[in-house]
Amino acid sequence: MAFLLKPLLLSTILYLTLLTLTNGVSVEDIVTQSFFDGIIGQADASCAGKGFYTRDAFLSSLGSYPAFGQTGTTDDSKKEIAAFFAHVTHETGHFCYIEEINGASQDYCNKTNTQYPCVAGKGYYGRGPLQLTWNYNYGPAGESIGFDGLSSPETVANDVNTSFKAALWFWMQNVHSVIGDGFGATIKAINGAVECNGGNTAAVNARVGYYKDYCQQFGVDPGQNLTC
């Protein structure tokens, strides 16, 4: 049975590595059904997202990105979770929208990106909790999650588990590493070119407002550097 040793050893190393990367905080205990309902409950009954987004789908998606909300201290975890849902709340209008308003009329194809070329007839506009956008995001997100992001970007709007995984993929790739720099850094990572440096102060303030509210609900200080 010596041939089993290497896979077993690799599995053990991976497990121990994950233990060192996470702090044991239960995201499920923080993102309660009451907290989730407090967000989506503010969406109109007619909203498409009302019957799409669920807490169960969010929790299920965490298995693909185990470092989310489990890095640093317990307060660090709470602030990251608060930041994630603050941006989700703003991007989707309290889980109202699955797809970007008038997104199909927008050209989000970066033709200079040859690694993830656009597929004719497909639109890479905002979809999901963080409104995943651009071919250079759909391509690698699909590779990570396990779907064809370039040929089937609509999957992010059709399958709720893929939708949350796409949001978490973007977060872990672009936002997770700057959490320690303050909430303002997360705004910059998500939509800085449009909103920061006076680009859209109202949007920045809205995001900050949600973040401070959720931090209060979690019993954690929001910290400094809240705007960008």
Enzyme catalytic residues? 91
Find the angle CA(60)-CA(168)-CA(151) to the nearest 5 degrees. 95
Give the residue among 221, 219, 222, 223 at the shortest CA–CA distance from 29.
219
Cα gap 87→186, rounded to integer Å: 9
Cα gap 205→127, rounded to integer Å: 23
Cα gap 160→50, rounded to integer Å: 12
Give the count of alpha carbons within 13 A of 159, CB side only. Answer: 16
User: 139, 115 in Cβ contact below 8 A?
Assistant: yes
DSSP annotation of 69 reads: T
Phi, psi of 66 (to 5 degrees): -65, -15
User: 80, 71 in Cβ contact below 8 A?
Assistant: yes
